[in-house]
């Protein structure tokens, strides 16, 4: 298909260069409007809760090990197939023990499914987004690296391990009783099923309100 260009400009446009004047007017207006860019890295934007950044395995404060129980849900649900887990089974107790846990962060699409599906809140996408490098290898996170990511995230943000909340740790839209025990944690009301806003009779109401009517 041939593209047609309109070469017949109006005489006034040609004489007064209206397009240029329009451009200059736009530039002038932008000079006095509020800037949307920031001077990174001197300035940093405040991230919204649940921003999906660097992966980490949450360390259990009691055992000092990863909370992961090798249920394999995260690796099964991962659409990018970037999580590999190996585990062994204790012959006496039949409990699973994670032998290796790896994430290829270069393949990750940051959907958040892994953290949402984890029944014990062992995996999280932290709000850390500053982890560029020159080679690919540093983005193949093994278990040690994932635990270190967690420690570094807490330290950098001055957080207590058991005080950190991420909206994915308790998925919205499900009543408490339908969540695995490990996900029945206290979260702000707007993150809960009861605080969820739904559309009813042409207006937005909370799920709690809708259920009581």
In the complex, which residues of this chain contact ligand SF4 (CB under 6 A)?
68-74, 77-80, 82-83, 85, 103, 108-114, 117-118, 120, 122-123, 125
Residue 79 C-beta: closest distance to ligand SF4, Å:
6
Residue 138 C-beta: closest distance to ligand SF4, Å:
16
Complex with ligand SF4: residue 101 or 207, whichever CB lies closer = 101
- Tokens 């500053």: give the residue: 130
Residue 188 C-beta: closest distance to ligand SF4, Å:
23
| CA-based max dimension of the chain | 91
Would you tell me how many other CB atoms lie within 10 Å of the CB of residue 4?
A: 6
Tell me the C-alpha distance between 178 and 150, whole Å: 28
Complex with ligand SF4: residue 77 or 205, whichever CB lies closer = 77
Residue 213 structure tokens: 């009517």
Residue 57 structure tokens: 């395995």
Residue 119 C-beta: closest distance to ligand SF4, Å:
6
Complex with ligand SF4: residue 100 or 157, whichever CB lies closer = 100
Output the CA–CA distances (angstroms, integers) from residue 171 to 39, 100, 199, 203, 207, in the order listed: 34, 27, 19, 23, 15
Complex with ligand SF4: residue 125 or 147, whichever CB lies closer = 125
């Amino acid at each position: 298909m041939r593209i047609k260009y309109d070469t017949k400009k109006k005489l006034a446009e040609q004489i007064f260069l209206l397009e240029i004047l329009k451009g200059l007017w736009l530039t002038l207006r932008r000079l006095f409007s509020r800037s949307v860019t920031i001077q990174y890295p001197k300035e940093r934007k405040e991230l919204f809760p649940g921003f999906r950044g660097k992966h980490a395995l949450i360390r259990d404060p009691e055992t000092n090990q990863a909370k992961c129980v090798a249920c394999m849900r995260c690796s099964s649900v991962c659409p990018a197939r970037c999580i590999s887990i190996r585990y062994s089974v204790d012959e006496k107790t039949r409990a699973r023990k994670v032998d290796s846990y790896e994430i290829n962060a270069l393949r990750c699409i940051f959907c958040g499914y892994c953290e949402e599906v984890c029944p014990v809140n062992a995996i999280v996408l932290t709000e850390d987004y500053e982890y560029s490098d020159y080679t690919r290898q540093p983005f193949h996170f093994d278990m040690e690296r994932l635990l270190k990511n967690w420690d570094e995230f807490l330290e950098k943000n001055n957080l207590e391990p058991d005080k950190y909340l991420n909206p994915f740790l308790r998925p919205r839209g499900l009543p408490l009783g339908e969540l695995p025990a490990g996900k029945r944690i206290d979260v702000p009301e707007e993150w809960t099923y009861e605080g969820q806003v739904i559309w009813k009779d042409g207006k937005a109401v909370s799920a709690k309100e809708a259920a009581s009517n």
